[in-house]
Amino acid sequence: MATTRQNVLITGASSGLGAEMARQLAAKGHDLALCARRTEKLDTIKTGILAADPGRRVEVRALDVNDDDQVFEVFRAFQKDFGTIDRVIINAGLGKGAPIGTGRYDANRETAMTNFVAALAQSEAAMEIFRAQESGHFVMISSMSAFRGMPKTMTTYAATKAGVAHIAEGLRNEMYGKPIKVTVLYPGYIASEMNERVDPNKVKGMVSTEKGVRSMIDAIEKEKDSACVPPLPWAPMSVVMKHAPLGVLKRLM
């Protein structure tokens, strides 16, 4: 690969996949710009990374991705800290939701705003930096649920994840042949705060945070266009989810 993508900005880095991506990328020698609302958690992650490797640089900042102005301020401040931001991982997300039409527009709206509108703001802020630098690696964390409209509590969440995948794919289309790369990851079930109340016996294919994130980092470092992570069972499952007749799909899932 032509570049090391030394300085990596991760949103939603205070827990789950974001925190573990920070740890695994630091172990590979990357320096990190980490943000989320819970800065005490970011500080703990920073302390752990520096204890393992005092040579790493880790900067942390408070960010609520639903505050548009703050998204641009924080991304620009990180760019000033490091000189360049070589990779941005748009990861902050929310798993709230209720069946549509059951009186919980508030929960579905919150998910739509955090997972889609705020991801658009993060995309704007990241691409502003990459366009000025004329280089960068844009990484969007979507979800396996993006491959098909999902029922009940998942309907809005899945729609946001399809939406953010399309933002990234649109950027890849625009950047074709140019030095700005775009990756979309479609995680299956990976243990995190988001699904800590889910019974692991009731969901097929749940993996540990460490294992799931290892395959995310593998796809990110290879700068794949897109990847279902972990690849098994999710890459073949994506074809089924996209193309199986609904009656067949409902018997499988």
Ligand X SMILES: NC(=O)c1ccc[n+]([C@@H]2O[C@H](COP(=O)([O-])OP(=O)(O)OC[C@H]3O[C@@H](n4cnc5c(N)ncnc54)[C@H](OP(=O)(O)O)[C@@H]3O)[C@@H](O)[C@H]2O)c1
Q: Which residues bind ligand X (CB under 6 A)?
A: 12-18, 36-38, 63-66, 91-94, 114, 141, 143, 187, 189-190, 192-195
Give the SS3 label for residue 159: helix
- 106: CB partners within 8 A, 6+ apart: none
**Rounded Cα distance, 35 and 120, in Å:** 16
Q: Which among 157, 176, 186, 189 is annotated as catalytic?
A: 157
What DSSP designation does 198 have? S
Is 157 among the residues known to form the active site? yes
Which one, 92 or 171, has the nearer CB to ligand X?
92
Spell out where 112-225 has E strands.
136-141, 180-187
Q: Closest distance between ligand X and the C-beta of residue 92, in Å?
A: 4
Q: Closest distance between ligand X and the C-beta of residue 78, in Å?
A: 14
Nearest-Å Rg of the Cα atoms of the chain is: 18
Closest CA to 207 of 217, 218, 195, 197: 195
Q: Closest distance between ligand X and the C-beta of residue 12, in Å?
A: 3
Q: Closest distance between ligand X and the C-beta of residue 55, in Å?
A: 25
β 58-62/136-141 pair status: unpaired
Which one, 48 or 135, has the nearer CB to ligand X?
48
What DSSP designation does 190 have? B
Token digits for 109?
């709206």
- 78: CB partners within 8 A, 6+ apart: 9, 33, 35, 59, 61, 85
β 58-62/7-11 pair status: unpaired
Q: Closest distance between ligand X and the C-beta of residue 63, in Å?
A: 5
What DSSP designation does 189 have? -
Q: Which active-site residues does the annotation give?
A: 157
